[in-house]
Amino acid sequence: MISLAQTYIIEVMTIILYCLLIFVPLLLGVVMALYADRKIWAAVQKRRGPNVVGPYGLFQVPADGLKFIFKEIILPDGSDKTVFLIAPIITLALSITAWAVVPVQAGVVLANINVGILYIFAISSLGVYGILMAGWSSNSKYPFFGALRSAAQMVSYEVSIGFVIITVLLCVGSLNLTEIVMAQKTMWFFIPLFPMFIVFFISALAETNRPPFDLPEAESELVAGYQTEYSGMPFVLFLFGEYINILLMCAMTTILFLGGWLPPIDIYPLNAVPGFVWFLLKVIFVFYLFAMVKAFVPRYRYDQLMRLGWKVFLPLSLFAVVATSSILFFFNLAPGM
């Protein structure tokens, strides 16, 4: 037993260190994303946004976080208390877990597994449980409606995301995220697969419950959706989980379509910049698009949302899978052929 401890204790410590290396920048990223989201939204509406706490209002989000930490955690009387408290923890834990396989630079990744893209797809399909559990355990009608809507929405848009990922994989020939980026050395995939890029972007908005698809928390109908009964720390966990998921979707868009850490053109001053800077810039750009969409697109109606998912995106992406594979096959472009 002692030899076991000696062998594995160093390994476990290194893994914990690596996890912190992911977790701490991610938390900082979420804080900045929350701030940027509010600032961009304000700028579109000709407001100033947060500008009081700290320089340019930069400390607004940490201040909000502190406020939530010191607030009382209210457990509704008729709620299923265990499930009620597990739900936000699951949401946050799953959203962080998915980041384990995201490569920020060539070789800089915690787990470079063979089925990286499937892993991310699997983890994000689990995210629906946090919301369903929260909505059910609150024992209140608004959270329940919010959870049902959210689950239906996430399950529907996962289908089209899956097909879009398949079109990308057809052009790569591997499920490994690093190899997906390396396959874009000659051309970023958003050029040949432009329609799929749009479908993926919109589906990512729906998958993360962002406006204009934020029906699960449509405040005009459902108070705050599945989070209605939450307060204090559990509420913050939901908020962080949601924003980490949004950042993950931004990173996925970057890796699948915008060439990951690769520079736009492979010439001297551009390729001397370290890869993670390019990666970060691209993620910020995609997040900026997310924030702009939130600022100026009105909310969809629920039946329009379902129509878009099942009657527009599903046939379109299914057709794209067939078309892409036919083109790759008949022009002998398929990798590994």
Residues that bind another protein (CB under 8 A): 4, 8, 80, 83, 113-115, 118-119, 121-122, 125-126, 128-129, 132-133, 136, 144, 148, 151, 155, 158, 175, 303, 307
Question: CA of 334: how far to CAs of 114, 141, 174, 255, 328, in Å?
Answer: 19, 51, 12, 20, 5
Angle at 89 between CA 84 and CA 93, to 5 degrees: 155
Least Å distance between CB 14 and another protein? 14
Burial (CB count <10 Å: 0-12, 13-18, 19+), residue 88: buried
* DSSP assigned state of 296: H
Nearest distance from residue 176's CB to another protein, in Å? 9
Between 132 and 248, name the residue whose CB sits nearer to another protein: 132
Q: Print the SS3 string covering 139-160.
A: CCHHHHHHHHHHHHHHHHHHHH
Query: Least separation, in Å, of the C-beta of 122 and another protein?
Result: 4
Query: Quick one: 101 or 286, whose CB is closer to another protein?
Result: 101
DSSP code of residue 187: S
Give 61 or 86: the residue with its C-beta nearer to another protein: 86
∠ CA 229-231-233, nearest 5°, is: 135
Asked whether the beta carbons of 35 and 58 are under 8 A apart, the reply is yes
CB of 114 to another protein, least distance (A): 5
State the minimum distance, in angstroms, from the CB of residue 25 to another protein. Answer: 26
Report the residue number, 27 or 175, with the smaller CB distance to another protein: 175
Q: What is the token pair recorded at 318?
A: 């299914």
**Residue 201 Cβ vs another protein, minimum distance, rounded to whole Å:** 21
Nearer to another protein, 30 or 96 (CB): 96
d(CA 105, CA 190): 19
Provide DSSP, 205-219. Answer: HHHTT-TTS-GGG-H
In the bound state with another protein, the residue whose beta carbon lies nearer, of 192 and 335, is: 335
Cβ distance to another protein smaller for residue 53 or 126:
126
For residue 191, the minimal CB distance to another protein (Å) is: 27
CA distance 16 to 21: 9
- 137 closest CA partner among 215, 78, 60, 208: 78
Strands, DSSP E only, in 104-213?
A: none
